[in-house]
Structures are given as C-alpha cells and as structure tokens.
A and B are shown apart, each in its own frame.
Chain A
Amino acid sequence: MSAIDPRLLEILVCPLCKGPLVYRREAGELICRADRLAYPIKDGIPVMLEEDARKLPPAEEVA
C-alpha cells in the first residue's frame, strides 16, 4: 500500500530544492525532476529524506 493522501500532495515539495514533485502512483514514489531523486511512500507515509531517496539513473525519464 503506497497510495498517498491527495491533501498531502497540495503541500509537499522537495526538501532539498523546495520545487514541485511528480507523484508516480504505480511506483509509489514522489519524484523531484531537478534533483533527480525519488522519495518512497511507505504504508502511505511519504519519506522525504535524501538519505532514503532513490537516485534516478540518467536514462530514467520523468514524465
């Protein structure tokens, strides 16, 4: 279960650059295009920490 409450999407930004995030429902991730980081959503709780984020490989497109 990695769905996120839509009310959270209204206020969440990337903790590093404070830029907008892209919500990837299938992957259960919130993505910052600028920092190329994917923040995981665990049990509906977004984990907005750089040390837990997945670094996007150069080839991965962010739609």
Chain B
Amino acid sequence: MIDRSAARRHFSRAAVTYPGASRLEAEIGTRLIERLDYVKLAPQRVLDLGCGPARETRALAARYAAAQLVLLDFALPMLRDARPARGLLQRLGGGRAPLAVCGDFEQLPFAGASLGLVYSNMALHWARQPLVALRELHRVLAVGGLLSFSTLGPDTLKELRAAAGASRVHAFHDMHDVGDMLLAAGFAAPVMDMETVSLLYADARALLADLRASGQTCALESRRRSLSGKAFAAALRAGLERQQQPSGLAVTFEVVYGHAWKAAPARTPDGHAVVQFRRGAAP
C-alpha cells in the first residue's frame, strides 16, 4: 500500500524540478483536455484534482469561462508554485482566479454536490485505496456532473519492475478494475480506454533522475526505510542497461483514461426506489 505521507514529502520536495521532469504528465494532460471536446458541460465549479503545477489551468479556464476553478493537491509547494499562473489568469479572466486547496483526494474537504466537473490528470494512481477516492469524488460531484481522468495501468514501468523486482515498484490497477470501482462508487456509464506510451531515455541514469526529480520515487509502505545501498543501485542500473537498445532505453507507460457521470440516484438513501411520474400525455 502507498504511504501517502511519504508520497506527499517526495512531491513537496520535487516541486521545483517537477515541471522539467514530467513530460509524460504534460503530454497526457494535453490529450485529456482534448477529450473534453466531446462532452457538453457547463459546470459552475471545476476541480483539478492532484493538479501538481497546474499546467492545464489555462486550458480549463478557457474552456469553462463561466466556471470557478478549484485546484487541489496534497503537496503545498506545488500549489505555491502554481501562483504565477493564477496571477496571470486573474489579469486575463477578470478576477476569477483559481482557488487553491491543499488536501487529500481520499478525504476531500469539499461539501457534497459542490462540483460540476472533476478533472484529474495522472494523479489517481497515487491513491492508497482508489475506491475510497472514487467514492469521495462521487460525493462531491453534483448530479449530472462528470469525472474525467487519466491514470497509469499495470504495464507501466515494466522495464523498471524487471530490473528492480516487483516489490520495489508500485503496482497499478487494470482499466477493467478501475471501471468496476467506478460502478462500485456509484458512477454511471463509465467509459475506459488505454494507450501504451513508450518514452525513450538516454540511459538508466536519465530514467532514475527523472523519477526522482518529479517526486515519483517509491512510496510503498513496504519500502526499505534505510538507504537502498550501493549494491542495489548497481544491480538496478545493470538490470536496466541489459534492456537498453542502441537508440536508448525505451520505457513503457500504460496510460488509462476514464470518464463517468454522477446520475440521479435510482434509490433514496433509505432504500426506496425513485420512480418518475409525468403529468399529461405520454412523451
């Protein structure tokens, strides 16, 4: 299981270096924003969940000009660094600066039904228990609201897993499992798909440096608390170098996309079914 406090420390420490070391997240963010083209929505409030340096803030503000943007991340330094972008938006957007909140998506600090759209780029794989996070998202969305997200699937970093051993690398959920979790959390009409992205690194050192600079080092509860030691580091590098091609080290990321709606409840909280009656002739 993921140690959220450790992950929070890693991301907080990496706030300055994160933007330069997260080209995958930047690219997938662009693709996730484009997917909103196919959705008709006029939300009052839009939440960017696990916003990091809030790179998509401008695109979201442009798309939902009438909406109030809310940014949430558990790493306070990331939100502080997102400030310049907020200032710029304020000048462009007539005072509707995004609102920043430091919080955890498994314990959201928002009132029920307070949001019309939750956008989350490459964040939900950091949940301790994804189902808990999805239940929280269902709670804070208003009826008719949409959750649109990207996350990582099981093939992600398989080269690293082969070199370091499965116990040293985070496990990621399969998109079918995520779809089942969306239904279990109460969401309606979930749509899932995935694509495999291969990033080319110069060598093992470059991959490990990027993971460190983006705060994405191991935060498993079962990780070794002491320094991993020179022997492990050498074995890890050797294991990665064995997979290296002349062009460099290709590293796999399985990107999972999902979206799901909060529908009107079919049953009231005390278990009565909701039946709609209409006056007048049949439609």
Residues B101 and A8 in contact, CB atoms below 8 Å apart: yes
Main secondary structure of the interface of B (DSSP, over half): mixed
Chain A minimum-CB-distance residue to B5: A51
A56 within 8 A of B: no
Chain B residues in 8 Å Cβ range of A12: 101, 109-111
Least CB distance from B89 to A in Å reads 14
Binds A, one of B74-82, B202-210, B228-236: B74-82
Residues B102 and A49 in contact, CB atoms below 8 Å apart: yes
Residues B112 and A7 in contact, CB atoms below 8 Å apart: no
A3 within 8 A of B: no
Residues B99 and A7 in contact, CB atoms below 8 Å apart: yes
Residues B102 and A45 in contact, CB atoms below 8 Å apart: yes
Chain B minimum-CB-distance residue to A45: B100
**Which residues from 1 to 48 on chain A have a C-beta closer than 8 Å to any C-beta of chain B?**
5, 7-8, 10-16, 18, 39, 42-48
Total A-B contacts with CB atoms under 8 angstroms apart: 63
Chain B minimum-CB-distance residue to A13: B111
A43 to B111, CA, bound (A): 23
Residues A48 and B114 in contact, CB atoms below 8 Å apart: no
A15 to B126, CA, bound (A): 18
Asked if A46 meets B101 with Cβ closer than 8 Å, knowing A11-B45, A11-B70, A18-B112, the reply is: yes
Residues B109 and A45 in contact, CB atoms below 8 Å apart: no
A62 to B19, CA, bound (A): 41
A47 to B79, CA, bound (A): 11
B104 within 8 A of A: yes
Chain B minimum-CB-distance residue to A41: B102
Q: Which interface residue of B68, B100, B102, B139 has the most chain A CB atoms within 10 A?
A: B102
Q: 1/0 per position for B69-110, CB-CB distance to A under 8 A? A: 010001010011000000000000000010111111001111
Q: B interface vs A, CB < 8 Å? A: 5, 45, 68, 70, 74, 76, 79-80, 97, 99-104, 107-112, 114-115, 139
Given contacts A45-B76, A49-B104, A51-B5, 19 further A-B contacts (CB under 8 A): A8-B99, A10-B114, A11-B114, A16-B107, A18-B111, A18-B112, A39-B109, A42-B76, A45-B102, A46-B102, A47-B76, A48-B101, A48-B102, A48-B103, A48-B107, A48-B109, A49-B74, A49-B103, A50-B107
